[in-house]
């Protein structure tokens, strides 16, 4: 049996002089040789202090719709981005701004230093910054799980590219914000969260290629020789036996659905949104051809003027036609 014995505090201190000394101190207290743990181990705070001024909150206003109470243009969507050039060029995800009638950035910030995603390693600490739920300067931290999670493996948008997988929380709101290393360099662009502890970022080396292509298009001033890509506006996952089992367990699924892609996210005002696609839809055929994975969608997207999709929603089958846009 154990007892808690209360005694006079002065007696306790006199008998145990070491207990009277602070265990931790700011800058070592009376002994300057003892470093402050806050100063030596707050490396995340050091990174945030360095890179936060480069991150922007992007709010999209729809001038065709107005708030009932204020009369101001309604907010169509919001997201994050970061400045990559001294003239104010901002890097973000396409779904944050594409198809929106008006974009306004409310801060004048410094330039983010771009690192190399090729040098990133599994187990390396990273910090994700952004504005989820309109909460600017929101910070999450984690480690890299994989530096080359293939897009064909995940069915994510972006062919021939390996995504950075991390357990740092990435939500729709901080999509477009930077994923930075402990040197304060952007090594990725926050893209999406699949489930708790599994998030993905676009490698910054891929983004650098995109920036070079943008610079070329700016120099050509919209000349037809500039490279353009077709855009549909969905994020998708290739159906695997595990995903099919989960869908069957949660929802009704028609018999015979053994292949296709699951629509994970639909960008508002995108061609897919206009056509009527919704998150949770399963695309089994496109232009009368079976869809076995995301690559089939990408091939059709580049080669066809329109996409006639056979869609499964809950226990119903129907067809929608998506007309892609160039971007």
Choices 3.30.420.40, 2.50.20.10, 2.40.10.120, 3.40.190.10: CATH for 51-206: 2.40.10.120
Kindly state the percentage of the chain with pLDDT values over 70: 73
Give me the pLDDT at residue 325, please. Answer: 86
pLDDT at 160 over 80: no
Give me the pLDDT at residue 188, please. Answer: 93
272-288 burial, b at 16+ Cβ within 10 Å, e below that, comes to bbbbebeeebbbbbbee
Q: Which residues contact 178 (CB under 8 A, 6 or more apart)?
A: 51, 54, 55, 82, 112, 128, 129, 186, 188, 189, 190
Residue bearing the bigger pLDDT, 287 or 214: 287
pLDDT at 85 over 50: yes
Give me the pLDDT at residue 311, please. Answer: 94
- Residues carrying CATH 2.30.42.10, the chain: 230-326
Residue bearing the bigger pLDDT, 221 or 178: 178
pLDDT at 221 over 90: no
The answer regarding whether domain 230-326 maps to CATH 3.30.460.10 reads: no
Task: Pick the closest to residue 146 from 188, 175, 183, 182 (CA basis).
Answer: 188
Highest mean pLDDT among 71-80, 141-150, 222-231, 254-263: 141-150
| Concatenated DSSP letters of 130-164 | E-GGG-SSEEEEEEEEEEEEEHHHHT-SSTT-EEE
Give me the pLDDT at residue 154, please. Answer: 63
Give me the pLDDT at residue 52, please. Answer: 85
Q: Are strands 307-313 and 316-322 parallel, antiparallel or unpaired?
A: antiparallel
């Amino acid at each position: 049996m154990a007892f808690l014995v209360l005694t006079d505090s002065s007696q306790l201190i006199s008998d145990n002089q070491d207990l009277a000394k602070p265990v931790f101190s700011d800058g070592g207290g009376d002994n300057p040789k003892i470093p402050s743990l806050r100063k030596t181990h707050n490396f995340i705070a050091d990174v945030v202090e360095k890179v936060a001024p480069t991150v922007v909150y992007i709010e999209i206003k729809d001038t065709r719709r107005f708030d009932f109470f204020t009369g101001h243009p309604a907010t169509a969507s919001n997201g994050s981005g970061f400045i990559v050039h001294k003239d104010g060029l901002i890097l973000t995800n396409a779904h944050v701004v594409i198809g929106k009638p008006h974009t306004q950035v409310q801060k004048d910030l410094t330039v983010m230093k771009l690192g190399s995603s090729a040098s990133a390693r599994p187990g390396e600490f990273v910090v994700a910054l952004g504005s989820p739920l309109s909460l600017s300067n929101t910070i999450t931290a984690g480690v890299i799980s994989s530096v080359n999670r293939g897009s064909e493996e995940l069915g994510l948008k972006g062919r021939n590219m390996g995504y950075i997988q991390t357990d740092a929380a990435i939500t729709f709101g901080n999509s477009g914000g930077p994923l930075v290393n402990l040197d304060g360099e952007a090594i990725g662009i926050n893209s999406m969260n699949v489930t708790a502890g599994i998030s993905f970022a676009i490698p910054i080396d891929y983004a650098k290629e995109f920036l070079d292509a943008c610079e070329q298009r700016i120099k050509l001033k919209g000349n037809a020789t500039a490279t353009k890509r077709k855009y549909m506006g969905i994020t998708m996952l290739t159906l695997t036996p595990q995903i099919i089992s989960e869908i069957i367990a949660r929802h009704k699924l028609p018999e015979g659905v053994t292949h296709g892609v699951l629509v994970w996210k639909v960008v508002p005002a995108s061609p897919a949104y206009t056509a009527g696609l919704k998150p949770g839809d399963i695309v089994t055929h496109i232009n009368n051809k079976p869809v076995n994975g995301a690559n089939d969608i990408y091939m059709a997207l580049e080669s066809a003027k329109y996409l006639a999709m056979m869609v499964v929603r809950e226990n119903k089958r129907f067809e929608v036609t998506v007309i892609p846009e160039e971007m």
